[in-house]
Structure formats: structure tokens, C-alpha cells
Amino acid sequence: MRWDAQALERGDAPDASSADSPAATALLPLAGLVRSVSTPEFAGITFHEVTAKSVLNKVVAGSRMPFDWTINPYRGCSHACVYCFARKSHTYLDFDAGLDFDSQVVVKINAAEVLRRELAKPSWQHEHVALGTNTDPYQRAEGRYQLMPGIIGALADSGTPLSILTKGTLLARDIPLLKHAAAQVPVGVGISLAMTNEQLSEAVEPGTPGPRARLKLISRLREAGLPCGVMAMPILPWLSDSDEALDSLFGALAAAGATGVTAGALYLKPGTREWFMQWIAREHPQLAGKYRRLYGGGSYASKEYRAWLAGRVRYFKDLHGLSGSQGFSHQDLNGNKAHSADPGGDHNAGHNASHNDDAREEEAQYPAGSIPDTAGHANFRHAGRPSREHANGSHSNANYPAAAQPTLF
């Protein structure tokens, strides 16, 4: 009742158009808008409940993603990550890519019902469907709307492989459901975690469960017999790319039992770039000029920086026993591409050699465990943890081979 009492119904709420209404600017002409809700439980956030006509999204032709279909039950994300690459997508709804992305969240309240209808069509080929590719399906609002159980159930019941990528520890609620789904179809699970520094995490991803909570989630998933790949992205230049930070990160991921890890540097596409650069100028003004030089006018850090970072990441993955079980998202120091993130090695093998200098290739690298293993599903479900001799933190005082960050950055 408390939630309903906060609703601003279009056409029913007499003050909905008032400039004093907290959601006055939120009642935009969104397709299928049912109502907008603003509640003290989610201070500063307005939820726009919509009825969707379709929830299965076809990935753009020619994409290097290892899947062709996605579902995004939410648009916008209260995790408020300053680096989120999906920010510009909010402008398609006439919201801005900055504060609106964090505070104006669109909820497809009929997602599971519509999905079941779409999956029941004779034309559906039961291809892998990925969740969490744009905004997080386990952001805080999922605790209220509980859309994911219906979505997972619909996919599994239809015989459709699925994968989930999230920062949200709400995923733990659905571990029993995911175990049941994994007995029916191939399932991949990925956690996004790129730092162990709790203070830095709170600063750059303020609405997200902290690193310790996500590490516990990785362990819970593995103990449940589920795969869990980790997207260690973004590594932030001068903030989380030191030897100490990388050693802590990969040691913790190994200890938690991650089935694979893909790491990569901060990616600043338009929409994200402007918001992040404002944050850097405000919070770390001494780094603002360095970031402008490192990224120039583009979305990617310089090739030299990415090659340097690749070498450091490879070293610490080797140190903690994480080598050989997953791909790496950047060129190595010798200019060679790492193997495909897919354990079968097939998704990206066709263009690794021909796109060695193409930074976009990084976007297609997903760690082992995060993509359904349609060829050998049982291998993921029974995969063992990395050796504890590599995962017990004993390398915290290791002598790192000299590899200073290039001075031009």
C-alpha cells in the first residue's frame, strides 16, 4: 500500500503536472506508461512502470557479441556507476545520460508474461539470451518488482540457454531457481567486479553492493555448483591499476572461485565520457589532464596503455592461478590477441588474427562461466576452484617484476 500511495498515475493524479510534484518531469510520453512511482524507500529515484510489447531484443547485425538476443527488464540503473557505458541509451527515451540515467528507471512490469508469448512462437530458435548487457537486472528495484524469477523460468521452461551479468547481490535470492534452470538449459553467470578497494567502489559505483559483498556472491554461486565468470572492468587508470590493486583483485577472485576473468581498461563512449570526465575533474582534478591525454578524443585508452595493462593483468592472473581458464580483453605486450573467452574457443577465433589493432574486439571477450557452455554444460557445472595455494593471499608482499607505467601517461 505504501508503494501504491506514492504512485503518480497519468491522468489520475491531479498534481502530476505541477512543478512542485517530485515526479512532474518524470511523466514523459514513454510508450506503454502505466504510472510513475516516487517513494522514500528509494529516495531520489522515480520508477516508470511500462507495459512492453516485446522484450526480446535482437543484437545489431555484425556485432562481435557472443550472443544474438538480449533482455533488459529495466532501463536506467540506480547503481549510478560513473563509468557506465550504457548511459547514452537513456537519451533514446528523452532522458539525459547523467543524473536521469541514475534516477529515472523504466520498469517493464509485464516482462515475463510478454517473454513467454515470444518464446512460444514457432519461429523461436532457442538461441542464447543474455541479460544484464545494458542495465543491471539485479539493481535494487528488482527486490520490489521481482521480474527476474519469471524471466529465468520462462527461458528455462522454453529450452532457451541464458546468461546473466550483474553487480547486484540480489542474484543470491535466485540461486535455487538458477540451479533448477541449469538442469534444463545451459546457464552462464557473470559478476562485474574490477576493484577490491571499498572506498573507491563507493565513490565510482555508489548504488552498487561493495566488493566484499560481490566476492561472497561469487563464492555462493560456485558452492551451488553454478559457473561464475568475472568481468574485471573497468580498470581505472591511476586509480585501480597499481600492482597492489591488481594483486588484491586477482587474488580475491581466485580465492572466491571465479571460473574465468576478463579484464580491461575504462571505456569512455559518448554519453559516458562527459559524465565521467566531470566526475574526475570534481573528485580527482590532478588526474583530469592525464585522462584527456590518455583518451584523446576517443572512447579507448591509448594502445600503449592497453598493452601495458595487459602485461600487468597477465602477470597477476598467472600469479594467482587464473591463467588458461578464460580470455583476456586486450592485446598483450607482443601485439598478440589472447584466446577467445569462450571455453570452446570458437566465438571469436575467426577474427582474432585480423583485428589485432581493433579496440572494439575487447567488447566481445566474455570470461569462462559467463556464457552458456552449449557444447559441454556439465564441465561448467562441476568445474573446480583454482588451487588454494594461488588463492590464499600469500602473494600480497610479492616482488613484482619491474614494469612501470609508461611515463607519457
Cα–Cα dist 138/288, whole Å: 32
- The residue whose grid cell reads 562481435 is 64
Residue 260: partners with Cβ closer than 8 Å, 6 or more residues away: 229, 230, 322, 325, 326, 327, 341, 343, 367, 368, 369, 370
Query: Which of 148, 246, 160, 155 minimizes the C-alpha distance to 195?
Result: 246
- What pLDDT, on a 0 to 100 scale, did the predictor assign at position 30? 85
DSSP designation for 15: T
- What pLDDT, on a 0 to 100 scale, did the predictor assign at position 207? 96
Stretch (H or E) spanning 46: strand 46-50
Q: How many CB atoms lie within 10 A of CB 179?
A: 15
Name the phi and psi angles at 293, rounded to 5.
-70, -40
Cα–Cα dist 178/156, whole Å: 9
Query: Which of 294, 364, 370 minimizes the C-alpha distance to 328?
Result: 364
Cα–Cα dist 232/218, whole Å: 13
Query: Cβ distance 10 to 35 under 8 Å?
Result: yes
- What pLDDT, on a 0 to 100 scale, did the predictor assign at position 368? 92
Per-residue pLDDT in tens (0 to 9) along the chain, 409 residues: 355 655 554 433 333 333 333 333 444 568 899 999 999 999 999 999 999 999 999 998 888 888 999 999 999 999 999 999 999 999 989 999 899 999 999 999 999 999 999 999 999 999 999 999 999 999 999 999 999 999 999 999 999 999 999 999 999 999 999 999 999 999 999 999 999 999 999 999 999 999 999 999 999 999 999 999 999 999 999 999 999 999 999 999 999 999 999 999 999 999 999 999 999 999 999 999 999 999 998 999 999 999 999 999 999 999 999 986 444 444 333 444 333 332 222 222 233 333 344 554 544 578 999 999 877 544 433 343 344 344 444 444 445 454 544 444 3
Cell representation of residue 343:
571455453
R_g over Cα of the chain:
21
DSSP designation for 126: -
- What pLDDT, on a 0 to 100 scale, did the predictor assign at position 12? 39
Cα–Cα dist 315/247, whole Å: 9
Query: Cβ distance 227 to 381 under 8 Å?
Result: yes
Cell representation of residue 287:
588526474
CA distances from 179 to 4, 223, 400 (A): 34, 11, 40
